[in-house]
Amino acid sequence: MSDTRRLHVLRAIVEDYVHTREPVGSKALVDRHHLQVSPATIRNDMAHLEDEGLIVAPHTSAGRIPTDQGYRLFVDRITEVRPLSAAERRAVDILAEAADDYDTMMEQTVRLLAMLTNQVAVIQHPQHSSAKIRHIDVIQMTPQKALTIVILSSGRVEQRMTTLAEPVDEEGLHLIGQRLSEHLHQRSAAALPLPLDDLIGAVEPSLQPAMAVIAHAVETILESGRVDRIIMAGTANLAKSGGDLGPSIAPILEALEEQVVLLRLLHEMQQDRRGLSIRIGQETSHASLAETAVVAAEYAPSEVGGDGAKLGVVGPTRMDYGSTMSAVRAMARYLSRILSEG
């Protein structure tokens, strides 16, 4: 049996099932996709795909539907992600023209993505404490351990212990603390990343390795003041998915409302060569989301120095992956461009 034909059969099953919501039989595949082989040959191909765990019969004598593994292979074989249509691009341009501040831009973006995909759209919205650096001290604990103390305008005091590659005496660490205080006074998490090259260049060469380590500790302290939240739109689209999401959508809604679940998932998702992050079914690693798929892409929020927060959609595993991937990636790129120009 041809591996290429078997992949064509899998793709046809996914496309038909996404379109019809009905299990797909061999005769329907031959009729609709002009595979130029007999239904018996397709049945043999389908048996092989079933043996490999890529499709399954939902009940006896039925056609076949894709498994999570089948969807994954189908998605991984999508090499070209189409650009937005002219109408979709115009909608994004109108969005850019209409939004008059950052928060409004985020809200309008997620609403438009929900409309484009007919799924639940989510966007990771990084926010930061307004506290600024008031003073920095660096204290020697051992010859190669230093305690970095950052006093913030809110009155909060943060500490980080660091290990240095080489011993540095108390005078050297005090000087590093002075230079950090001078250069970073009134700096907040909204101004990350830190100007490491300038900070390292502010001390003599013998202190530069220690400065690099301690400056990183200060950056970590500031980053800990970052609080991400999720903006969501299109939850009503879940109801339209009907039986695709099992007997009840309540656990899925609860997981979506529990923002820590989504934030952890978005943080863990790694982009592939297409600039997309995709988790399907059990890959979401959360029982309530086991019947869903998450498609996301990074955008660069201007207020956090270009860190890659994500936007994406959550929907049933039976989704139109090609169109969804296209919309998510394009929206992320358009949003990055709009924010950088703003």
Residue type at position 47: A
Give the separation between CA 189 and CA 305, rounded to whole angstroms.
9
- Predicted model pTM: 0.71
Confidence of residue 128 (pLDDT cuts 50, 70, 90): low
Closest by CA position to 31, among listed 20, 19, 16: 16
Question: Going from the N-terminus, what domains does the chain have, and what CATH number goes with each?
Answer: 3-76 (1.10.10.10), 86-128+227-341 (3.30.450.40), 133-223 (3.30.390.60)
Q: What is the mean pLDDT of residues 270-283?
A: 92
Query: Strands 120-128, 309-316: parallel, antiparallel or unpaired by DSSP?
Result: antiparallel
Give the separation between CA 162 and CA 209, rounded to whole angstroms.
12
Closest by CA position to 228, among listed 194, 264, 256: 264
Minimum mean pLDDT range among 56-65, 117-126, 314-323 = 56-65
**340 near 320, Cβ under 8 Å?**
no
Which H or E run contains 277? strand 277-280
DSSP-derived secondary structure letter, 10: H
Distances (CA, A) of 183 to 176, 190, 318: 11, 16, 53
Closest by CA position to 301, among listed 99, 123, 100, 92: 123
Closest by CA position to 322, among listed 79, 20, 112, 121: 79
On the 0-12 / 13-18 / 19+ scale of CB atoms within 10 A, 243 is: exposed
- Which residue's structure tokens are 């934030």? 263
The predicted-structure confidence for 147-186, as pLDDT tens digits, reads as follows 999 998 878 888 999 999 999 999 999 999 999 999 999 8
Percent of the residues in the chain that have a pLDDT greater than 90, as a whole number: 46
For 288, the 3-state DSSP assignment is helix
How far from chain centre, in Å, is Cα 97? 26
Give the separation between CA 86 and CA 294, rounded to whole angstroms.
26
